[in-house]
């Protein structure tokens, strides 16, 4: 079986090709993170090493087969994986010119969130670390700069934590892309086993909207978040997908207040993006503003996600490739 190079750190490349000197593995790692995947183009590598690589390894297993750009400068990319499966990746540009890439960690998703298009796919399979990294490298080749990474495309990252963690180490490595850990965010629906593993390395509406909530009850979720915050000292971002009449009631704000007590948090409001066939509606601007105002009056620090890519089904919750 051939080795997927984009899923390896320099020392692992050295381990797999023991006859080469360490600096050669670093050179190869650097080429890959310049989005150069043709061994013949890696001109500072000896010819015999390039031949060896061609015989025993794969530089790139994924391909972009479709890209769609929206009027707001966001873009969605459809990728074909080595086994014929498909995933989607999104690039979002903000007013300050920063580019954030939204990486998928699974093909499909098993969480079953009622408001999410990806849930309709079910879980097809986890992505390997190299498939997560390749999304970044492929899109990086098309844009001048990617400043931030969010693991919140298709799938629940904490259900595939080993591969996500490996991808983070690869993308953070200073010899390659060198992405700061502060510029990488893992987004989760609250998967407790993954949260607990991350530390060591609710209300009725939550039960209805997030089937996994039954297996991940709020008291235990809060304990895991407290442990994570105590260990890292980092502020937590809690995201609310705003569903008018469903989770914007005074009761919901009271429950949120109770849950966040003793936690250092910021609340990020995401207006629900329309997904055909789901029984919700998008919040009107007045409803959104009113909810944010009510949260601020209760002392919450609040930010708002401005949905981009809605016209190309690339906004939060809209990624879906029908089986």
Q: Which of 27-31, 204-208, 317-321 has the lowest mean pLDDT?
A: 204-208
CA angle 228–166–26, rounded 5-degree value: 130
DSSP label at residue 25: H
CA–CA separation, 103 and 316 (whole Å): 12
Would the pLDDT of 306 be above 80?
A: no
| φ, ψ for residue 115, nearest 5 deg | -100, 5
Report the distance separating Cα 143 and Cα 98, nearest Å.
Answer: 11
Phi, psi of 248 (to 5 degrees): -120, 20
User: Could you name the CATH architecture of 63-312?
Assistant: Alpha-Beta Barrel (3.20)
Specify whether the CB–CB gap between 275 and 115 falls below 8 A.
yes
From the candidate CATH numbers 3.40.50.2300, 1.20.140.10, 1.10.150.530, 2.70.98.10, the one assigned to the domain spanning 3-58: 1.10.150.530
Catalytic hit among 88, 131, 156, 163: 88
Tokens representing residue 100 in the block: 């954030």
- pLDDT tens track for 211-265: 555 566 778 888 888 988 988 888 898 988 888 888 888 888 888 998 899 899 9
What's the mean pLDDT in 37-41? 97
Question: What residue segments make up the domains of the chain, in order of their start?
Answer: 3-58, 63-312
What's the token pair of residue 104? Answer: 């998928």
Give the model's pLDDT for residue 255.
Answer: 85
- Cβ(73)–Cβ(122) under 8 Å? no
The residue annotated as part of the active site, out of 113, 189, 316, 320, is: 316
Helix (H, G, I), strand (E, B) or coil at 294: helix
**Two tokens, residue 24:** 């050669």
Are 14 and 20 spatial neighbours (Cβ–Cβ below 8 Å)?
Answer: yes
Q: Is the pLDDT of residue 153 over 80?
A: yes
- Kindly give, in sequence order, each residue whose CB lies less than 8 Å from that of residue 249, ignoring residues fewer than 6 positions away: none
pLDDT at 20: 87
pLDDT band at 201 (very low <50, low <70, confident <90, very high): low
Q: Is 316 tagged catalytic?
A: yes
Query: Would the pTM of this model clear 0.75, i.e. be above it?
Result: no
- Percentage of the residues of the chain whose pLDDT score is greater than 90: 52
Question: Which token pair is 53?
Answer: 């690589």
> What does the pLDDT look like over 104-152, one tens digit per residue?
999 999 988 888 888 889 999 999 999 999 999 999 999 868 999 999 8
Report pLDDT digits (tens) over 165-188: 999 999 999 999 999 988 999 888
pLDDT at 34: 96
């Amino acid at each position: 079986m051939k080795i997927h190079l984009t899923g390896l750190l320099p020392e692992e490349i050295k381990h797999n090709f023991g006859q080469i000197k360490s600096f050669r593995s670093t050179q190869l790692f650097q080429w890959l993170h310049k989005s150069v995947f043709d061994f013949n183009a890696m001109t500072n590598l000896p010819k015999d090493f390039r031949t060896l690589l061609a015989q025993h390894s794969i530089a790139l297993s994924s391909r972009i087969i479709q890209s769609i750009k929206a009027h707001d400068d966001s873009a969605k990319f459809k990728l074909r994986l080595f086994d014929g499966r498909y995933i989607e990746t999104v690039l979002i540009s903000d007013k300050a010119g920063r580019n954030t890439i939204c990486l998928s960690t699974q093909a499909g998703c098993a969480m079953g969130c009622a408001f999410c298009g990806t849930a309709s796919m079910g879980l097809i399979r986890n992505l390997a670390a190299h498939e997560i990294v390749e999304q970044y490298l492929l899109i990086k080749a098309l844009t001048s700069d990617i400043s931030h990474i969010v693991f919140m495309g298709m799938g629940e990252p904490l259900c595939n934590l080993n591969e996500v963690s490996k991808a983070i180490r690869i993308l953070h490595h200073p010899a390659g892309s060198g992405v700061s850990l502060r510029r990488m965010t893992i987004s989760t629906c609250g998967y407790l086993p993954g949260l607990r593993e991350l530390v060591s390395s609710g209300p009725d509406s939550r039960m209805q909207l997030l089937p996994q909530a039954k297996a991940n009850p709020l008291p235990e979720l809060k304990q895991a978040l407290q442990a994570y915050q105590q260990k890292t000292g980092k502020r937590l971002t809690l995201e609310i997908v705003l569903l008018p009449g469903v989770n914007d009631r005074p009761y919901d704000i009271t429950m949120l207040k109770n849950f966040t007590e003793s936690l250092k948090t910021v609340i990020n409001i995401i207006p629900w993006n329309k997904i055909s066939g789901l029984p919700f509606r998008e919040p009107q601007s007045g409803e959104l503003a009113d909810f944010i105002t009510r949260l601020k009056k209760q002392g919450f620090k609040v930010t708002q996600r401005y949905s981009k890519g809605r016209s190309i089904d690339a906004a939060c919750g809209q990624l879906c490739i029908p089986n």
